[in-house]
Amino acid sequence: MSHLALYKTASHACGYLPERRANEAVIDPDAPLNRALYDELLAAGFRRSGDQVYRQHCSSCAACVPVRVPVQAFAPKRRHQRNLRRNDDLQVRIDSMGLSDAHVALYQRYLAARHSDSPMNNESPEQIHRFLGCDWATPLQLDYLDADGRLVGFSVADDTPSALSAVYTVFDPDHAARGLGIWSILQQISLARRSARQWLYLGYWIAAAKTMQYKTQFEPLERYQDGQWQSAEHCPA
């Protein structure tokens, strides 16, 4: 990674903690990236949004902590087993990313119901494709189908030599009681394990953000702090 140029963005309102200002360190958008190099970048705390690879680089805040699950060591808790039983009527279809009109419509419904104040709300189909897709990353798409073959949710995840990296998950708001957000992570952990991957990267965890607390239940969780991955139990909240 030593040959990659980094650029620091201008200060802007934080998307996670609105009262704070944020900056990102962004990989040169003209750099030739690939799955193997992205594997190294994930291990250094980076992630992607569309084709852009970045990590938080705020001068006065270190609240955003990259987290990952060592999938071979993960054991589902009782709450996870209940979740799996609740959704045992669903099927998972895995393919390369290819969003249909049904996927776009579900994405828009999900954001309108769950994140109505998000700047991502009301995005066009082209913007949705640019956000989730990436030419060099070849993301996977996990479709979640009910017994009648209807799409009730989907996840996009990047596949690298040593890991999967969760990009985004959406689900039908009418099926909120199923706990499909948690179920989708369990499916990605299972896929990573079957594929002999070591990790599932879950993006950022922020102690002060209630919407991110669900990530701590996937123990043994690891956090990237002070330039190294550490067991979450050894990291300060």
Instruction: Indicate the DSSP class of residue 180.
Output: H
Q: How many CB atoms lie within 10 A of CB 93?
A: 12
What six digits make up the tokens of 227? 């330039």
Cα atoms found within 13 Å of the Cα of residue 120, Cβ hemisphere only: 19
What end-to-end distance do the CA atoms of the chain give, in Å? 29
Res 117: pLDDT: 66
Res 191: pLDDT: 98
Give the tens place of pLDDT for each residue, 9-38: 999 888 888 889 999 999 999 999 999 999
- Domains present along the chain, CATH in parentheses: 76-205 (3.40.630.30)
Give the tens place of pLDDT for each residue, 127-143: 999 999 998 998 999 99
Q: Which stretches in the chain have pLDDT values below 50?
A: 237
Could you tell me what percent of the chain has a pLDDT over 70?
95
Sheet holding 163-171, edge to edge: 91-96, 140-145, 151-159, 163-171, 199-205, 65-70, 222-225, 228-231
- pTM: predicted TM-score of the whole model, two decimal places: 0.93
Res 121: pLDDT: 60
Res 209: pLDDT: 86
Cα atoms found within 13 Å of the Cα of residue 26, Cβ hemisphere only: 14
